[in-house]
């Protein structure tokens, strides 16, 4: 089977789905059918790329020239496929969940919601498969624009202000990315993502390299939620919960950390990062973000806000792992992309189910709800355990690998940060679980679980979290893939 | 052979139609607009044909009456003039199609003079671009300017005042240009651009040449609305009738920019321009100030046409900044932006005209979310043009900024790079403000229910041109590599 066009189809399928989604706006069931269909096809297409990726092969596709000598090029390399599998796979569950959520909550402008969602997924897969920085910029900005209608969805003051904040952060980031990419093009004559980086053989003054790196860091750090440029993420919680779940826990923010990894491993390269001491900046920022975000999470009474700060912290686990510049660190970071995705989407799904069902947003109101929503709270407990890094849920293994990675690099402080952060995670998640199970609740009579459209996806993602914790290679060989990606970055860098 | 006469045909088409329209328009007033559409259409086809011919062959030098320079006047159809002519005539064609409805409604009974003047102005613009003679350029400049003043004076109550102000400032600018030409004539003894180009290297450091260059830049800077000589522009564009603004705004300042290209990069060449003082850098700094000033002022405006007018001040800055960089990427970025901005601004001003027809105003604060259902296609076009103005890929506007950014980096000009980036953000502020108003409820006014309006789109004669221009922004975005390839070949060094 010829795979060369599959990356293009995988990007386009949800973009094309926008047309039938818009046209069937009067028939909600038909409209949602298109979303589900697009999600299934997209996931199927991505899966066909998986066997090749496991063997370390890439599928490359050059479309037209975007600028003289700079093609619009897609390349499904192992890392791209890894990210695409996660994003497109979770989109299927989110789609079902979304249907339950928007109908349960009686949201307005549902067509716009589903259409924007589909565009977001095209952009995410485009980001995963971008072969060079210009293509990447195209999809990165597309993601920004497509997420905007979802952030402002409620069209109330908080939504609109969140939207403005979101645009201010992400558009600035996009411009810095343009500047950084133009500088790379100027200095190296190429903007292709290359394992080992494009700066080999290019001698640059330290300050020039530092400036380029800081531009990149600010550009991709926004979506990766690195402090102090994370501010849009908690604000964006004004969006409907499925948006927070898939986009602000998986697609958008993971595009950010994905981009950090691309920049570190494929633009600068591990050697250059180390030689110029650029990774130190990243380690310090990521370490500080992990601790600070966890502490701030304590202070949040709004459940989604607490989850948002938790996301900020966990994104920096990935950044930290990448910044360690050791094979295990890289591998742990990449694995945490997958681990955090299933765990955090579960938690957000739970938060959304609680909101739609009980109309409760604040943690202080969650007393005793486990009695009426046992499945949901069971899943929530699994997610909390996983993020705290307790075996056998899948957050444990990535954290373990991260710790190995920092010891491999003779660094102890990152290990301490990981341990402390694990405790803090327990500290801010378990009071929620405790309230739900052990405190007497009020006003819960007559309530039961949310609609099956929401509960089933919750159970599926929770089960996935456990299964991937027990058998990291189950289904898709994600563990092997992470190892493969990590080694490819180091083998090329030091021939 | 048609090819060898093309430069003359383009100009003569407008001469012919500027006479035909009054002649037939007096008999049947309704004929004026179709004639203008035909006239600008023919000119656009000639321009396209000419540009394709140029790409396959070589520049055309056309001597009127067979009299060669320095006795006669020549038209030069090379890459630069061919590109500009193609852009302005193509955009004018779409504006002429669109203008029928707005002119019938905004100044009933005056269509005939409007279209006759429009053809005359286009004659002036085309002549300015095509002529190979500096004095002849001044003549065409005055033709374009005088008809432009008249066109601007057709409009709202303050329009004649705005036009008069433009007339005073514009005439001063024209005079300064003429003075510069005079200086050059005294030292070179010729007015022909090609001849003068050959002679100037020997005279570049003479005071007269430097003075001439500065006078010409300042004089044409007025016409190009180069900061701080832009004062005439906001009022003129705001108060002129919608169809006048839609015609003048996208192309008027571009033609002036063309003269700056011709003078700085061709006639003098960048080495001679900067031989005595860093003139190109100063021009670039002025452009940067204009970019920032225009963007900030645009944010402060409540009236859509006025906002777009200030935005024009800012966008012309991009073009002139790219010119001042005087390297291939900067040039390609500036030229691509000539095309992009002409399309975007034509589209946006045409949409402002449509809104004025439908709603009777274009005050952004009074926009509401019923526009979303009332004018879905107009607003879709607006969104595309706005996002292109902000400069997000894959729309055309992104790529001009990308090349300009490459140009600033090649010159290690970090200041200009920062200005490009900051201004994109400012663009986002004033365009997303409108998009928010149109697509969302306004919670700040206590709105909690979306406003729905019955479908009430503009006529096809207006929708089709705006939609075509909006779609062309997407097409240019994806095809820009081809265009830029051509533009890089045009660059003179």
* pLDDT at residue number A487: 79
Number of domains in chain A: 1
Rounded CA-CA distance B143/B125 in Å is 8
CA distance B320 to chain A (A): 20
Of A160, A167, A175, Cβ closest to residue B421 = A175
Chain A hits for B402, Cβ within 8 Å: 67, 134, 178, 182
CB nearest to A66's CB, from B432, B440, B481: B481
Q: Which one of A15, A66, A170 makes the best mutation probe of the B interface by having the most chain B beta carbons within 10 Å?
A: A66
Q: How many angstroms separate the first and last alpha carbons of chain B?
A: 31
Tokens 């058998």 locate to A471
Instruction: Compare all CA atoms of chain B with the CA of A168 and give the residue at the minimum distance.
Output: B425
Taking an 8 Å cut-off on Cβ atoms, the answer to whether A65 and B402 are in contact is: no
Residue A440 placed within a domain? yes
Query: Has residue A145 been placed in a domain?
Result: yes
| Interface mutation vs chain A, best among B336, B481, B491, most A CBs within 10 Å | B481
Q: Is A1 within a domain?
A: no
Burial environment of residue A446 by CB neighbours within 10 A (0 to 12, 13 to 18, 19 or more): exposed
List the single best residue of A63, A74, A106, A141 to mutate versus B (max B Cβ within 10 A): A141
Q: By residue range, what is the domain housing residue A245? A: 6-493
CA distances B340 to B320, B344, B396, B397, B442, Å, are 14, 6, 6, 6, 32
pTM of the full structure:
0.91
Q: Who among A134, A160, A183 is closest to B443 (CB)?
A: A160
Contact assignment for B387 to A145 by CB distance below 8 Å: yes
Partners of A132 on chain B (C-beta within 8 Å) are none
Task: Establish if A261 belongs to a structural domain.
Answer: yes
B348-407 residues touching A, CB cutoff 8 A: 387, 390, 392-394, 398-399, 401-403, 405-406
pLDDT in tens, B297-343: 999 999 999 999 999 999 999 999 999 998 999 999 999 999 999 99
Question: Which residues of chain B are within 8 Å of residue A144 when distances are taken between CB atoms?
Answer: 392
**DSSP assigned state of B375:** S
Mutate to test the interface with B, among A15, A26, A63, A68 (most CBs of B within 10 A): A68
User: A217 in a domain, yes or no?
Assistant: yes
pLDDT at A455: 83
Q: pLDDT tens across B236-270, in order? A: 999 999 999 999 999 999 999 999 999 999 988 88
Q: Are residues A464 and A244 in contact, defined by beta-carbon separation less than 8 angstroms?
A: no
pLDDT score recorded for residue A364: 81
Is any Cβ of chain A less than 8 angstroms from the Cβ of B481? yes
Residues of B in contact with A204 (CB under 8 A): none
Nearest C-alpha of chain A: how many angstroms from B416?
Answer: 12
The per-residue pLDDT for A491 is: 66
Closest-CA residue of chain B to A167: B428
SS3 B74: strand
Whether pLDDT at A495 is above 60: no
- Choose the weakest-confidence range: A18-22, A472-476, B475-479: A472-476
Q: What is residue A194's predicted lDDT score, i.e. its pLDDT?
A: 86
SS3 string, chain A, reads: CCCCCHHHHHHHHHHHHHHHHHHCCCCHHHHHHHHHHHHHHHHHHHHHHHHHHHCCCCEEEEEEEEECCEEEEEEECHHHHHHHHHHHHHHHHHHHHHHHHHHHHCCCCHHHHHHHHHHHHHHHHHHHHECEHHHHHHHHHHHHHHHHHHHCCCCCHHHHHHHHHHHHHHHHHHHHHHHHHHHHHHHHCCCECCCCCCCCCCCCCHHHHHHHHHHHHHHHHHHCCCCCCCCHHHHHHHCCHHHHHHHHHHHHHHHHHHHHHHHHHHHHCHHHHHHCCHHHHHHHHHHHHHHHHHHHHHCCCEHHHHHHHHHHHHHHHHHHHHHCCCHHHHHHHHHHHHHHHHHHHHHHHHHHHHHHHHCCCEHHHCCCHHHCCHHHHHHHHHHHHHHHCCCCCHHHHHHHHHHHHHHHCCCCHHHHHHHHHHHHHHHHHHHHHHHHHHCCCCCCCCCCCCCHHHHHHHHHHHHHHHHHHHCCCCCCCHHHHHHHHHHHHHHHHCC
Q: Which residues of A touch B (CB under 8 A)?
A: 64-68, 70, 72, 108-109, 134, 137-138, 141-142, 144-145, 149, 152, 155-157, 160, 163-164, 167-168, 171-172, 174-176, 178-179, 182-183, 185-186
Residue of B nearest to A136 (CA): B393
Which of B336, B392, B395 to substitute to test the interface with A, most A CBs within 10 Å? Answer: B392
Digit-coded pLDDT (tens) for A222-264: 888 888 888 888 888 888 888 888 777 788 888 999 999 999 8
Q: For residue B432, which residues of chain A lie inside 8 Å, CB to CB?
A: 164, 167
Residue A1: the pLDDT is: 56
Q: How confident is the model at residue A492 (pLDDT cuts 50, 70, 90)?
A: low
Taken in order A249, A250, A251, A256, the sign of the CA dihedral is positive
pLDDT averaged over consecutive 10-residue blocks of chain B (493 residues)?
Answer: 80 92 86 91 92 85 79 86 93 92 86 91 94 92 93 88 92 94 91 88 83 93 90 90 91 92 90 86 93 93 92 93 92 94 94 90 86 89 93 90 92 91 91 88 78 83 92 92 90 82
Of A108, A156, A179, the CB nearest to B421: A179
Interchain proximity B417–A67, CB inside 8 Å: no
Whether residue B478 lies within 8 A of chain A, CB to CB, comes out as yes
**A179–B417: do the CB atoms touch at under 8 Å?**
yes
User: Nearest-CA distance from A340 to chain B in Å?
Assistant: 30
Distance from CA of A157 to the nearest CA of B (A): 6
* CB within 8 Å: A67 and B443: no
- Residue contact A141–B392, C-beta within 8 A: yes
Q: Where are the domains of chain B?
A: 285-493
pLDDT tens-digit series, residues A407-460: 888 888 888 888 888 888 888 888 888 888 888 877 777 777 777 788 888 888
Tell me the three state secondary structure of residue B413: coil
Residue A18 lies in a domain: yes
């Amino acid at each position: 089977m010829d795979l060369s066009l599959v990356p293009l189809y995988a990007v386009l399928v949800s973009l094309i789905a926008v047309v039938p989604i818009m046209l069937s706006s009067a028939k909600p069931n038909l409209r949602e059918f298109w979303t589900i269909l697009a999600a299934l096809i997209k996931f199927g297409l991505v899966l066909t790329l998986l066997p090749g990726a496991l063997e370390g092969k890439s599928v490359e596709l050059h479309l037209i020239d975007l600028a003289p000598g700079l093609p619009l090029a897609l390349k499904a390399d192992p890392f791209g496929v890894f990210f695409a599998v996660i994003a497109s796979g979770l989109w299927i569950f989110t789609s079902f969940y979304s249907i339950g959520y928007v109908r349960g909550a009686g949201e307005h402008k549902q067509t716009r919601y589903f259409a924007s969602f589909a565009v977001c997924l095209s952009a995410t897969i485009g980001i995963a498969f971008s072969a060079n920085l210009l293509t990447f910029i195209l999809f990165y900005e597309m993601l920004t624009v497509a997420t905007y209608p979802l952030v402002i969805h409620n069209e109330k003051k908080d939504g609109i202000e969140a939207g403005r904040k979101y645009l201010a952060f992400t558009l600035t980031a996009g411009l810095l990315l343009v500047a950084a990419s133009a500088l790379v093009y100027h200095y190296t004559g190429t903007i292709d993502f290359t394992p080992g980086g494009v700066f080999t053989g290019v001698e640059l003054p330290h300050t020039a390299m530092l400036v380029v790196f800081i531009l990149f860091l600010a550009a991709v750090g926004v979506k990766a939620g690195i402090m102090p440029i994370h501010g849009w993420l908690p604000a964006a919680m004004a969006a409907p919960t499925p948006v927070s779940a898939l986009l602000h826990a998986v697609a958008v923010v993971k595009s950010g950390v994905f981009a950090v990894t691309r920049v570190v491993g494929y633009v600068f390269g591990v050697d250059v990062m180390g030689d110029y001491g650029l990774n130190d900046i990243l380690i310090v920022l990521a370490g500080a973000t992990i601790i600070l975000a966890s502490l701030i999470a304590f202070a949040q009474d709004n459940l989604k806000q607490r989850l948002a700060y938790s996301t900020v912290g966990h994104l920096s686990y990935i950044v930290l792992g990448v910044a360690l510049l050791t094979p295990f660190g890289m591998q742990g970071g990449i694995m945490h992309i997958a681990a955090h995705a299933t765990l955090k989407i579960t938690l957000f799904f739970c938060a959304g189910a609680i909101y739609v069902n009980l109309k409760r947003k604040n943690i202080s109101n969650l007393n005793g709800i486990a009695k009426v929503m046992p499945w949901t709270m069971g899943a929530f407990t699994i997610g909390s355990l996983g993020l705290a890094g307790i075996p056998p849920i899948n957050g444990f293994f990535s954290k373990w690998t991260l710790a190995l990675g920092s010891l491999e690099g003779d660094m102890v402080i990152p290990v301490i940060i990981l341990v402390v952060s694990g405790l803090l995670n327990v500290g801010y998640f378990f009071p929620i679980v405790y309230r739900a199970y052990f405190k007497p609740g009020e006003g819960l009579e007559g309530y039961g679980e949310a609609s099956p459209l929401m509960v089933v996806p919750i159970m599926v993602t929770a089960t996935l979290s456990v299964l991937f914790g027990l058998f990291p290679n189950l289904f898709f060989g994600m563990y092997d893939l992470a190892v493969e990606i990590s080694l490819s970055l180091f083998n090329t860098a030091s021939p | 052979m048609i090819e060898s006469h093309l430069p003359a045909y383009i100009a003569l088409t407008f001469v012919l139609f500027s006479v035909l329209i009054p002649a037939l328009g007096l008999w049947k007033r309704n004929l004026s607009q179709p004639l203008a559409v035909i006239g600008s259409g023919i000119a656009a086809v000639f321009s396209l044909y000419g540009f394709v011919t140029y790409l396959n062959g070589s520049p055309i030098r056309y001597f009127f009456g067979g009299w060669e320079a320095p006795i006669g006047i020549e038209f030069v159809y090379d890459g630069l003039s061919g590109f500009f002519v193609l852009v302005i005539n193509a955009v004018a064609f779409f504006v002429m199609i669109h203008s029928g409805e707005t002119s019938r409604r905004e100044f009933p009974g005056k269509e005939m003079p409007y279209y006759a003047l429009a053809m005359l102005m286009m004659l002036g613009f085309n002549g300015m671009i095509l002529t190979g003679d500096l004095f002849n350029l001044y003549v065409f400049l005055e033709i374009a300017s005088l008809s432009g003043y008249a066109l601007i004076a057709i409009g709202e109550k303050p329009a004649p005042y705005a036009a008069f102000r433009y007339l005073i400032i514009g005439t001063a600018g024209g005079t300064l240009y003429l003075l510069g030409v005079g200086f050059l004539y005294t030292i070179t003894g010729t007015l022909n651009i090609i001849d003068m180009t050959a002679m100037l290297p020997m005279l570049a450091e003479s005071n007269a040449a430097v003075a001439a260059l500065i006078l010409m830049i300042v004089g044409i800077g007025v016409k190009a609305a180069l900061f701080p000589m832009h004062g005439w522009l906001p009022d003129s564009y705001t108060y002129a009738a919608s169809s006048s603004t839609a015609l003048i705004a996208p192309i008027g300042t571009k033609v002036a920019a063309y003269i700056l290209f011709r003078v700085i990069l061709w006639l003098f060449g960048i080495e001679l321009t900067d031989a005595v003082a860093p003139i190109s850098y100063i021009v670039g700094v002025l452009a940067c100030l204009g970019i920032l000033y225009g963007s900030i002022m645009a944010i402060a405006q409540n009236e859509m046409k006025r906002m777009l007018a200030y935005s024009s001040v800012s966008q012309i800055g991009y073009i002139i900044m790219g010119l001042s960089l005087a390297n291939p990427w900067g040039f390609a970025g500036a030229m691509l932006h000539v095309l992009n901005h002409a399309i975007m601004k034509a589209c946006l001003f045409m949409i402002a005209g449509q809104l004025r027809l439908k709603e009777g105003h274009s005050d952004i604060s009074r926009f509401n979310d019923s526009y979303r259902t009332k004018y879905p296609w107009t607003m879709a076009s607006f969104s595309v043009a706005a996002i292109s103005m902000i400069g997000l890929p894959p729309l055309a506007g992104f790529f001009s900024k990308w090349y300009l950014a490459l140009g600033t980096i090649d010159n290690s000009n970090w200041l200009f790079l920062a200005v490009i980036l900051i201004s994109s953000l400012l663009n986002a502020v004033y365009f997303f403000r409108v998009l928010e108003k149109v697509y969302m409820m306004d919670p700040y006014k206590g709105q909690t229910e979306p406003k729905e309006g019955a479908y009430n789109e503009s006529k096809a004669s207006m929708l089709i041109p705006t939609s075509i221009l909006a779609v062309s922004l997407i097409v240019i975005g994806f095809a820009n590599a081809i265009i830029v390839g051509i533009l890089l070949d045009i660059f003179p060094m």
